[in-house]
């Protein structure tokens, strides 16, 4: 694991087998402990997160380990859609994301997938908003979600 300072506080990055497994917010207890702080993928992730906060990176290009990544689960489907379909500077509603996942009535399941997102920032769950554009739950806290959207210059009503 590797901890870095960011404008939203300390983030701890975890890896397993050369793939990024988790990003933890300050104060969260890491669930997976791989003590190798020198693994090149951790440095790569730290560099890309730093570039994101310097507005030099809008898309992450990292090897990701997602629970169930060999077996496409609904959560991984939602996470992959967020990465592919919700670009820097845009937002999407839970309902719109459910529709993109071919499950238009699965709004609550999309919310649960966001809640279980092991890789905030990299999987941009902060870009998912309520039906009326309101800010809703975020593991890092609504204040951090608002900061990230402001950083990306997203207005609450500007969703895709």
State residue 98 phi and psi, 5-degree precision. -60, -40
Cα dihedral sign for 125, 133, 159, 107?
A: positive
Q: Which active-site residues does the annotation give? A: 125
DSSP, residue by residue, 20-40: EEEEEETT---SS----TT-H
Cα–Cα distances (Å) from 30 to 3, 14, 27, 118, 157, in that order, read 11, 8, 9, 11, 34
Tokens 């994301």 belong to which residue? 97
Is the distance from CB of 154 to CB of 87 less than 8 angstroms? no
């Amino acid at each position: 694991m590797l901890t870095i300072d960011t404008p939203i506080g300390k983030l701890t990055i975890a890896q397993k087998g050369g793939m990024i497994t988790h990003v933890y917010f300050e104060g969260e207890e890491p669930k997976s402990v791989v003590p190798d702080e020198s693994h090149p993928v951790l440095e790569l992730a730290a560099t890309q997160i730093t570039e994101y906060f310097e507005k030099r990176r809008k898309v992450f290009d990292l090897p990701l380990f997602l629970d169930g990544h060999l077996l496409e689960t609904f959560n991984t489907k939602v996470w992959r859609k967020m990465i592919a379909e919700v670009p820097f500077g845009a937002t999407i509603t839970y309902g719109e994301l459910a529709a993109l996942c071919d499950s238009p009535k699965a709004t609550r399941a999309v919310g649960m997938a966001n809640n279980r997102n092991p890789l905030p920032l990299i999987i941009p769950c902060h870009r998912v908003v309520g039906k009326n554009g309101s800010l809703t739950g975020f593991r890092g806290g609504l204040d951090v979600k608002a900061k990230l959207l402001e950083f990306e210059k997203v207005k609450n009503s500007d969703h895709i």
